[in-house]
């Protein structure tokens, strides 16, 4: 007897089978199930794109910039603190002021009293600001040269370079100001009349 196909012939059943109807008996023929991975691979093969290379590129691009971006932001923040001296510089200046008042005798000259109370605190603030500025400079420089020592083919995100350059610039400016303050080139201690 010949094979008779109904409207159900060629249709998929619930388990991914094709139903053939013969006169008098029903037989099931299993067909190959196509998974989504096979469809993606076939589509990529048609367009010439390698799915594994794309997955590796996405994974590596997402993970490499996080640490460098954080370091660039830290560099810029240290640069801002280096310009102002920050809370730690204020505390160091106040401590130097108190120590100068305690160590200076009442019979000391006016210039010695000025140096002990104001000059030493000014220099302590400048020293702390210089340390922060130098830290900003070093961290920003490390972020900028990091791609040269990492994976050679990977580019650094433009915003990371921009923020790192800002940290380096703020560090240089803060370091120049700190040296100028510490050496009394900028707002030096006034001389007391004799």
Whole-number pLDDT of residue 8: 47
Please name the residue that has the structure tokens 């605190």. 121
For 135, the token pair is 């830290």
Please name the residue that has the structure tokens 């500025």. 133
Give the β-pairing of 17-22 and 25-30.
Answer: antiparallel
Whole-number pLDDT of residue 153: 67
Which contiguous run of DSSP H or E holds residue 26?
strand 25-30
Whole-number pLDDT of residue 147: 79
SS3 content of the chain, % helix, strand, coil (to 5): 65, 10, 25
- Digit-by-digit pLDDT tens for the chain (194 residues) are 555 545 544 444 445 555 555 555 555 554 455 444 455 555 455 555 555 555 555 455 455 578 889 999 999 999 999 988 888 888 988 898 888 888 877 777 777 778 887 888 888 899 999 999 999 999 999 999 887 777 666 788 889 999 999 999 999 999 999 999 888 787 777 776 66
76, 172 Cβ separation under 8 angstroms: no
Whole-number pLDDT of residue 173: 95
Q: What is the DSSP string of 107-161?
A: TS-HHHHHIIIIIHHHHHHHHHHHHHHHHHHHHHHHHHHHHHHS-TTPPPPHHHH
82, 136 Cβ separation under 8 angstroms: yes
Whole-number pLDDT of residue 9: 46
Whole-number pLDDT of residue 23: 56
Taking alpha carbons only, the member of 45, 76, 49 closest to residue 141 is 76
């Amino acid at each position: 007897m010949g094979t008779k196909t109904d409207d159900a012939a060629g249709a998929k059943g619930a388990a991914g089978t094709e139903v053939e109807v013969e006169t008098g008996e029903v037989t099931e023929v299993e067909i190959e199930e196509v998974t989504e991975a096979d469809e993606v691979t076939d589509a990529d093969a048609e367009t010439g794109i390698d799915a594994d290379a794309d997955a590796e590129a996405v994974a590596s691009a997402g993970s490499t910039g996080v640490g460098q971006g954080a370091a660039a932001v830290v560099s810029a923040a240290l640069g801002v603190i280096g310009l102002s001296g920050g809370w730690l510089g204020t505390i160091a200046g106040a401590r130097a002021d108190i120590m100068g008042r305690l160590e200076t005798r009442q019979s000391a000259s006016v210039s010695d009293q000025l140096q002990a109370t104001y000059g030493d605190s000014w220099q302590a603030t400048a020293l702390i600001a210089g340390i922060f500025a130098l830290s900003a400079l070093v961290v920003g420089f490390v972020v900028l040269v990091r791609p040269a020592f990492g994976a050679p083919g990977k580019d650094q995100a433009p915003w990371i370079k921009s923020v790192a350059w800002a940290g380096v610039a703020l560090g240089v400016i803060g370091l120049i100001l700190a040296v100028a303050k510490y050496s009394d080139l900028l707002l030096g201690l006034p001389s007391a009349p004799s």
